[in-house]
């Protein structure tokens, strides 16, 4: 939905049972990355530092090969616009900036991927998640 020309992100990744231990691990690393990105999106940090925190966590948990895009992009009239929460973008975050929150992980070899998405509002101390849809196991790992 767009209001006054501005849009945003708000979706969740679901997995239907049965799932493998590998799929659950990737879901857990992705979900933790989603929260790390928001936490790091604080005033005074840089876009590249946000991305590095996310990528360091993903690498430490053995899923570096599943990273296909940057954790976030600026949100505004264009939708996908600079600055980017990506390695190499040294833009200093200022209160009021708005970013997508989507540090996706994709495993094409096994035919799945995860990319919760939300919007983050940069503020002092930490970024604020703008959406309220849950992204916990009870909501996203479904047994029919």
Domains of the chain, with CATH numbers? 18-142 (3.90.230.10)
Query: Is it the case that residue 13 has pLDDT exceeding 90?
Result: no
Which tens digits make up the pLDDT trace of 35-68? 999 999 999 999 999 999 999 999 999 999 999 9
Neighbour-count burial of 98, counting CB atoms closer than 10 A to its CB (0-12 exposed, 13-18 middle, 19+ buried): middle
Q: How confident is the model at residue 134 (pLDDT cuts 50, 70, 90)?
A: confident
Give the pairing of strands 105-107 and 112-114: antiparallel
What pLDDT digit, counting tens, does each position of 96-132 carry? 999 999 999 999 999 999 998 889 999 999 999 988 8
């Amino acid at each position: 939905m767009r209001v006054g020309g501005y849009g945003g992100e708000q979706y969740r990744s679901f997995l239907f049972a049965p799932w493998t231990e590998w799929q659950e691990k990737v879901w857990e690393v992705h979900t933790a990355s989603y929260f790390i990105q928001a936490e790091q999106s604080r005033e005074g940090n840089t876009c590249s530092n946000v991305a590095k925190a996310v990528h360091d966590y993903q690498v430490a948990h053995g899923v570096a090969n599943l990273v296909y895009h940057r954790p976030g992009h600026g949100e505004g009239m264009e939708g996908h616009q600079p600055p980017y929460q990506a390695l190499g973008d040294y833009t200093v975050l200022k209160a009021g900036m708005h970013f997508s929150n989507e540090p996706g992980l994709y495993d094409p070899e096994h035919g799945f991927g995860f990319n919760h998405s939300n919007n983050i509002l940069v503020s002092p101390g930490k970024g604020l998640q703008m959406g309220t849809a849950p992204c916990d196991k009870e909501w996203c790992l479904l047994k029919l």
